[in-house]
Amino acid sequence: MRMQLSQQPEELLGNRALGIIVERVDEGALRIAQMLTRGFPAVVDRPMPRPWTPRGLRWGWTAVRGLASILTAGDHRKVSVEASIRGMQHTLSPRSKQGIEAVDFRDDRLGHLLQHVRKPTYGPKSERDVQARSLEGYDWPQEVSRWDATTVSGDHEVPEGGLWQCGQRNEEPTRPQSQGMRGALDPLGMPLSTEVLAGARAEEGLAIPILERLRRGWNTTGRLCVGDGTMRAVETRRHVVGHHDFSLSPLP
């Protein structure tokens, strides 16, 4: 959009026309600012390999913009991120100190980022760094954590070895499902770690790999892990006690 200037601005700018760019940012800009406060781009960049594209937009900014778009629009599809960036290029480029184009957020590039994050070499390191920065910045209590497992079902194809499988859920045993386990600080509810697994396995033991990841970033013992029935499995309780922590769960 271009508009004609009055005499005083024209004398200051030395130009007869002024270009105005209007971009709608909604709460996406706020979400990005919150992630920048925690140093999220640097946390993601540190363990990741360099991008293969000549432009070289770092993975950290790809993750920040992608997460902000998903949370703002409530749309997890990768294609929606590329569409949303077209209306915020001029707003985000100065903040990231590099030019940002919609091509930097194509679905193939976001898919490549997800492939990196899911690897044990990269994902857990970024997770621990985010957790450490959050706890250090806000001085939140860390003595009690809460663990909860859930099952999600839907109408999906069931590929061999894929995430969606037919499991043992009593309500809908024939529908494809996936399982998730999340750990959070209690009572704040701050997420610490999340694990998503195929639905063809039992819920018992889901907390063990997450506890193992988080323990590498904890410097103390004697923590209380509160959970549902999945925490009362003998294997899980043995794991917790073996690392000098405590568990609390309902008994049948």
pTM of this prediction exceeds 0.95: no
- Tally of structural domains, the chain: 2
Instruction: Give the CA distances from residue 57 to residues 32, 102, 104, 109, 151, in Å, rounded to whole numbers and listed in that order.
Output: 16, 12, 7, 11, 36
Placement of tokens 């697994």 in the chain: 197
Range of the domain at 204: 142-168+175-248
Kindly indicate the confidence band of residue 245, based on its pLDDT and cuts at 50, 70 and 90: very high
Q: Which helix (H) or strand (E) holds 124?
A: helix 123-138
- Asked whether residue 52 is domain-assigned, the answer is yes
- Asked whether residue 82 is domain-assigned, the answer is yes
DSSP state of 25: -
Residues 147 and 86 in one domain: no
Residues 80 and 164 in one domain: no
Q: What confidence tens digit (pLDDT) does each residue in 191-211 have?
A: 888 888 777 777 777 888 888
Residues 228 and 192 in one domain: yes
- Asked whether residue 57 is domain-assigned, the answer is yes
Residues 154 and 68 in one domain: no
- Asked whether residue 64 is domain-assigned, the answer is yes
- pLDDT score of 146 more than 80: yes
